[in-house]
Amino acid sequence: MVGQCPERKSEIAMKKILIYSILMLTVILTSAAAMDLELGKTDNSLAVITASDVPENFGRGLPMGPASLRFFKGNLWVSDSIPGNFVEFDQTGKTLRKIVVPKGTRYVFHDFAIQTGKDGNIEAIWSIGSEETNVLQITLDGKVKTEFATGLSMPIQLELLSDNSIAIFDEGEMKIVAFDRSGKQLWHEETAGKKFLVNAEGEIIFLKKMGEEISVCKRSAKTQKAEVIRPFPVSEDSFPQLESLNSDNSIVFSFHSTSEEDEGLKFMLARLKLDKSEMDNLEIAFPEAFIKRFYLQNDNQAFLVKFVDKEGKKLLQIEEFDFESSLDKFEG
């Protein structure tokens, strides 16, 4: 057997070190991209209610807990729905700030949006309740600066638009309703799927029924006219829901799926190019109904939000999600 020269041995050793370093870096990055937020009844945890916490005839679906999450400048903001608070966490899960809203328990906030000033810092939070469906503008010291009733049925999404209007998705009526910041209703748009997206131009992306099919449409903030972008590949009875608009001109959405081979209902996450026919999709676990934003983006990173019971602790788990690698595993 012919032996290897010293130079070759050194090259192999360096490659092994490099591969080991890459593997170690991957482990570090993966662990750093996951965050567990504790749920419970302590002052430092987010509130959750399960069947064991309430009487048998409790009149609301369970579990209940933090409904909406958003990233802002790398930190995570969460609507602590049950007590009516808003909490800011750093990337390690450390609590940075808690905004306590007076009488916040009466609202059960489903969603919120962050208002920034000219300096790019947070000025206020706009939120929408689900028990009492009012819109509130809340300052950072917890004071309610503006409040108005919407008369909506089941609001689950709120966005601040570039023209200073507020757009809300009402799941009960399956429509988008826009208000000015004093509470005057400006317009509404019926949809054929849940939620809507807002692009960089301030246009609203939504799903609308066109004849027997549904299409991806956009509505201009300037002209208030809607136009079709492209056909949508999933039927209305699959309960499609728009989740994210990506920088590569694709959208992420979820839907329900069944097959003849498997009678069970599946929850699918899909990615669709707005300018091409291709669509990728994969199966993921059903999110809890109380989590109104289970798919998050922070710059170029995506995250899935889960409600888990880990070693006897109830947690809100925020875990990095990569569509490409997940798709490879799914297809493999």
Instruction: Give the pLDDT confidence of 146-159 residue by residue, as tens digits.
Output: 999 999 999 999 99
Residue 236, Cβ neighbours under 10 Å: how many? 17
Q: What is the mean pLDDT of residues 87-96?
A: 94
Q: How many domains does the chain have?
A: 1
Instruction: Supply the pLDDT for residue 308.
Output: 92
Nearest Cα to Cα of residue 316 among 284, 294, 286, 283 = 294
Lowest-confidence region among 37-46, 173-182, 191-200, 209-218: 37-46
Is 3 part of a structural domain of the chain? Answer: no
Domain contains 91:
yes
Residue 58's pLDDT band, with cuts at 50, 70 and 90, is confident
Residue given tokens 């990337």 in the structure block:
91
Domain assignment present for 15? no
CA distance linking residue 254 with residue 234, whole number of Å: 10
CATH number for the domain that contains residue 76? 2.120.10.30
Specify the pLDDT at position 40.
83
- One DSSP character per residue, 105-125 reads GGT-EEEEEEEE-TTSSEEEE
User: Does residue 11 belong to any structural domain of this protein?
Assistant: no
Q: 19 pLDDT exceeds 70?
A: no
Q: What average pLDDT does the segment 106-126 reach?
A: 96
- Tell me what pLDDT residue 121 has: 96
pLDDT digits 0-9 by tens, 274-307: 888 889 999 999 999 999 999 999 988 999 999 9
Query: Mean pLDDT, the chain, as a whole number?
Result: 87
Q: What percentage of the chain carries pLDDT values higher than 70?
A: 86
pTM surpassing 0.95? no
pLDDT of 230 > 70? The answer is: yes
pLDDT at position 259 over 60? yes
Burial of 114 (0-12, 13-18, 19+ CB in 10 A): middle
What's the confidence (pLDDT) of residue 33? Answer: 63
pLDDT at residue number 211:
84
With respect to residue 173, please indicate whether it lies within any of the assigned structural domains.
yes
pLDDT confidence bin for 117, thresholds 50/70/90:
very high
Residue 271 lies in a domain: yes
* pLDDT of residue 214 exceeding 90: yes
Selected residue with higher pLDDT from 165 and 275:
165
Structure tokens that stand for 198 in this block: 């807002």
Residue 284 token pair: 């993921």
The pLDDT, as a whole number, for residue 16 is: 37
What integer pLDDT is reported at residue 2 of this predicted model?
A: 40
User: What pLDDT does 130 receive?
Assistant: 94
Quote the domain boundaries for residue 190: 36-331
Question: When comparing pLDDT for 44 and 230, which is higher?
Answer: 230
Under 8 Å between Cβ of 171 and 130: no
pLDDT at 60: 80
Cα–Cα distance, 148 to 126 (Å, whole number): 11
pLDDT at residue 242 greater than cutoff 70: yes
Nearest residue to 166 via CA among 114, 100, 118 = 114
First to last CA, the chain: 39
| pLDDT band with cut points at 50, 70 and 90 for residue 329 | low
Tell whether the model's pLDDT for residue 27 goes beyond 60. Answer: no
Domain membership flag for residue 172: yes
What average pLDDT score do residues 315-319 get? 94
Q: Give the pLDDT score at 260.
A: 67
